[in-house]
Amino acid sequence: MHIHEFGTSHSDILLMFHGSCMTWDMYKEGIEQLSQYFHVVIPALPGHDLETTEDFTSIEKITEEIEKWLLECKYEKIFGLYGLSMGGSLAIRFLANNRIPVNKTIIDAGITPYSLPYLLTRFIAVRDYLMIQLGRSSQKVLAMAFPPEKYTKEGINHMYRTMRHMSSKTVWRVFDSCNNYTMPAPIPVIQTAIAYWYGEKEKKASMWDIDYVKKIYPQTEFRELSGLDHGEYCMMYPQKFAKDIIEYLSPVDDE
């Protein structure tokens, strides 16, 4: 797994997990701002790295691999943690593992595990798998689901390239794992300040995830992003997105 670092002169680490069907540089327009305040660490998640052919494994395994890398680098405390969608699943599991303390976390429409009968989870995984397979079959089909005027033409082109790069095994594992990853029992009580962001237009679809996060992390504050849908904030308004992260984390001055 390639792990990218920016602003390494700063002591406060911001660990960022990207979403599915995108690459680590979906945050590239915000990195310049963020790296003025933080040591930004962004893993290129397996199956989504255009420079490798490795497949996605699982939320649990990838989280453990990232934790191992951080500890080997002597990064023993995370000042800020951010994860979008699939990346939000990684953030939720990272917090639950409680191996590396985190000061503040933003979970952006993070996917939480279903508590559903096994056969129903299989049906949902197959449905999601077929939807992505259809989307990566044609850029025109993808643009119907993600209109360029909302996600930008460059963003759609990049998403299409990434989806074409993803293997069928990766596509299956992403949705199967994000919907069904395990959590420790009991989930440890943590002191991390947590914000859960979600778009106004995805609120209904996110209610299960919102309720789940309320239950496991009752300290969570919820923020509705007016007029936005899933993943639109970082892609449509990268400068404001970065500014909001900086303001929420309120980093300690390195000087």
Mean per-residue pLDDT pooled into runs of 10, the chain (255 residues): 96 96 90 95 96 96 98 97 97 97 97 83 82 82 77 81 92 92 94 97 94 96 95 90 95 47
10-64 pLDDT, tens digit per residue, is 999 999 999 998 999 889 889 999 999 999 999 999 999 999 999 999 999 999 9
Within a domain: 33: yes
Q: What's the full length of the chain, in residues? A: 255
The CA–CA distances, whole Å, from 228 to 81, 109, 191 equal: 22, 11, 30
Helix (H, G, I), strand (E, B) or coil at 254: coil
Within a domain: 178: no
Cβ neighbour number for residue 169 with a 10 Å cutoff:
12
> Is the four-CA dihedral 236, 134, 90, 78 of positive or negative sign?
negative
Exposure on the CB side of residue 119, measured as CA atoms within 13 A: 0
What integer pLDDT is reported at residue 251 of this predicted model? Answer: 55
Within a domain: 146: no
At residue 42, φ and ψ (nearest 5 deg) are -130, 105
Within a domain: 161: no
Please report, for the domain that includes residue 48, its CATH number. Answer: 3.40.50.1820
For 75, counting Cβ atoms within 10 Å of its Cβ (0-12 exposed, 13-18 middle, 19+ buried), the class is middle
What integer pLDDT is reported at residue 215 of this predicted model? Answer: 96
Q: Give the total number of structural domains in the chain.
A: 1
DSSP code for 73: T
What integer pLDDT is reported at residue 253 of this predicted model? Answer: 46
Within a domain: 147: no
Range of the domain at 18: 3-113+184-249
Within a domain: 150: no
What integer pLDDT is reported at residue 220 of this predicted model? Answer: 98
End-to-end Cα distance, the chain = 32
Within a domain: 254: no
Within a domain: 63: yes
CA distance 217 to 106: 12
Cβ neighbour number for residue 229 with a 10 Å cutoff:
20
Peptide bond between residue 43 and the one before it cis (omega within 30 degrees of 0)? no
What integer pLDDT is reported at residue 77 of this predicted model? Answer: 96
Strands of the 39-43 sheet, one edge to the other: 3-6, 39-43, 13-17, 78-84, 102-108, 193-199, 221-225
Q: Exposure string (b/e) for 132-167, b if CB count within 10 Å is 16 or more?
A: beebbeeeeebbeebeeeebbeebbebbbebbebbe
Residue for token digits 């996110």? 206
What integer pLDDT is reported at residue 255 of this predicted model? Answer: 40
